Structures are given as C-alpha cells and as structure tokens.
Amino acid sequence: MGIFRSVYFAGHHLSKYREGVCDILAPLWIGGVFTMEFEFIKNTLLGEYAVRCNMEHQIVGRWLQEEIGQDLAKLKHVLTLIDKAEQSPAQEFLWTGREISLLVQGDEITVQENALAYESEHELETDFALYDSESIAACGREDFVALLTQWQSFIQNQGRF
C-alpha cells in the first residue's frame, strides 16, 4: 500500500514509491520543445484516479478526469474520433461532454468548457481573460494522443506502469 510515482521526462522513465498515492508526471516534448506537462495520480487507499496538468492545460486535465475518467469505452471513442479527423483533416469533429467538450480539426485539438461556446457570441470583458485561459486550451494531435494512451495504460495497470 502507498503511493507509486512514475515520471516521464524527455523519453526517460523514472519511478519511485510514496506513502498513499501513485502519480505519473509526464512533460511532452516535440522537437525538443516543451509542450504540455501532466501528472496522473492514483490514491491507492481510496482507489481514485486524478489528472493534473500545467496551468495552460488545466482544462485538458479536467476534461480527462471529469468527462472520461476510468471509462475506457469513452476513451476508445475519442481515440477513434481523432483517427477519423486525421483521415479527413478538413472536417471538424466534436465530442460533447456534460461540461467540457473536445473539438478535433486536423492536427489541432481544442478542449473548452461548454459555457464558453455560448459566451463567445457575446464580447467578454477583459476581466474574464484569465478565466477564459483556464477554460480553453489547444494542443497538437500527437501530444493529445500521447496523453490519452498514457492515461489508458495508467488506468489499465491500476496506477502502475
């Protein structure tokens, strides 16, 4: 019992145990440039899974944790949607969640709160710019697929790699 921590850094895998929690920290690198950092956590005492992302991609972590969670069928559906988008890059593919949705267009993935879709019709005050930055994020297809496949492995292996 305890915490297992597995860290991915530039393709190298490091692991260590901690008391009570299991987490994976993974910065994604494309062409030597840092693009997204995320951490998978399993509370081994409660059996709960969580995702933490860097500030620019918090909404991505929320989407994965709240909309997908441990539902591997939903995860497979999203991966299939991304494959379809790769085959038809001119088309937009939308996966609508309860609170957060995913838009796939070619190699670009956008994750945003559903409320933003309604607010975008009206000009928002500049005071909400920071809120908006926490409510929408975009990343490349490769980064996003890497996140999803690592989450899938994390869930299937019960918090261990």
Domain limits, the chain: 3-156
Nearest Cα residue to 54 out of 126, 133, 128: 133
Q: What is residue 58's three-state secondary structure?
A: helix
Q: What is the pLDDT of residue 117?
A: 67
The mean-pLDDT minimum among 35-44, 108-117, 137-146 falls in 35-44
pLDDT per position as a tens digit, 44-81 = 888 889 999 888 889 999 999 999 999 999 999 999 99
| 132 close to 56: Cβ distance less than 8 angstroms | no
pTM comes to: 0.74
Q: What is the pLDDT of residue 47?
A: 87
Q: Is the pLDDT reported for residue 16 higher than 50?
A: no
